[in-house]
Amino acid sequence: MKHYIGIDIGGMSVKAGIVNEEGKIICKDICQTFPDKHYSVMVKDMYELCVKILSDAGLRFEDISGVGIGCPGTIYAEKGIITFANNLNFHDTPLVDEFKKYWKGDAVYIENDANCAALGEYLFGSGKGSRNCIFITLGTGVGSGFILDGKIFAGKMGAGAEAGHMVIRIDGEKCTCGRRGCWEAYASATALIRDTQKAMAKNPDSLMHKIAAQYGKVNGRVAFDAAKQNDKAAKQVVKRYIKYIGCGVVNLINIFRPDKVLIGGGISNEGDYFIKLIQRYVNRYHYGGKINPRVKVVRASLLNDAGIIGAASLAMNK
């Protein structure tokens, strides 16, 4: 059986794992990142992490058929360059070439982390069996990855697949990107928390206050928890949030008409209850409701391993 290494670069740490051709992680580890230091430092740490997991797994360099790297930001995959990654101090960074100074193999690839996760889900997770699928991650922001005809579609120089920055309310809430009304400004966990806080301020008797106190803060779960206990104000927050998510999902369905839409990210931990609400919204509002094929909304299934498996799958898919 062939083995691959998947490397998942984050703001605080780098994770790496050895993944077999069936998409199973057989060994993984993590190391800290130092975004303030020169990128060559991180690359050296990445390489040493690879050496360590190889040793832990009892495998040699020759046993690895390829390495895939997932990284937030705009990635120019064909050139192996990180054009820009906001939290990581990367700017036109030739990460693949730098990594190859240590790793003496040709099969090293890099892609945006949401694109990697989309590919991982398509090959080994909830996206299996579909031809076109869309992966949405609902976290601090709203990320997206598109698998079209079995391949990542990322647009010119990898600068596409930014569905979080599709405006759903022209002149609406300010987005971190500078535009107003982006999907991300309504459907991210950040937006949910903002809306929860607003509803709490208006409803001093809401259960949300008690629940937030238990968590020690207002997080993305407060409104969901309270809604399940039939709190009226919380139910309104959840209803609005589902509508915002649904609006963007239906937009993407009308544009791509994929086989499946996969929902990942922290908010997807709300599980079946949450997914079913989105599915109901989609069934009701997708274009050509009675004629066009319905699209399944499913929870992404690789969860915390999506980063490593997704990155490794990048090397498998070449």
- Binding stretches for its own copies (CB under 8 A): 74, 83-84, 131-132, 148, 153-163, 165-170, 177-179, 186, 243-244, 247, 250-259, 285, 287-289, 291-293, 295
Minimal distance in Å, beta carbon 250 to its own copies?
A: 7
Q: Toward its own copies, which CB reaches closer, 84 or 209?
A: 84
Minimal distance in Å, beta carbon 153 to its own copies?
A: 7
Q: Please give the Cα distance from 196 to 192 (Å, whole number).
A: 6
| Contact assessment for residue 42 and residue 69, using Cβ atoms and an 8 Å cutoff | no
Q: Residue written as tokens 């927050």?
A: 237
Report the 10 Å Cβ neighbour count for 272. 10
Strand pairing of 90-93 and 81-85?
antiparallel
Q: Toward its own copies, which CB reaches closer, 81 or 309?
A: 81
Question: Where are the extended beta strands (E) located within 229-268?
Answer: 260-264
| Contact assessment for residue 195 and residue 180, using Cβ atoms and an 8 Å cutoff | no
Minimal distance in Å, beta carbon 305 to its own copies?
A: 27
Minimal distance in Å, beta carbon 104 to its own copies?
A: 32
Q: Toward its own copies, which CB reaches closer, 31 or 285?
A: 285
Minimal distance in Å, beta carbon 18 to its own copies?
A: 32
Residues 6+ apart with CB under 8 A from 300: 117, 121, 125, 126, 135, 137, 262, 263, 264, 265, 268, 306
Please tell me whether residue 17 adopts helix, strand or coil conformation. strand
Q: Toward its own copies, which CB reaches closer, 271 or 289?
A: 289
Q: Toward its own copies, which CB reaches closer, 65 or 89?
A: 89
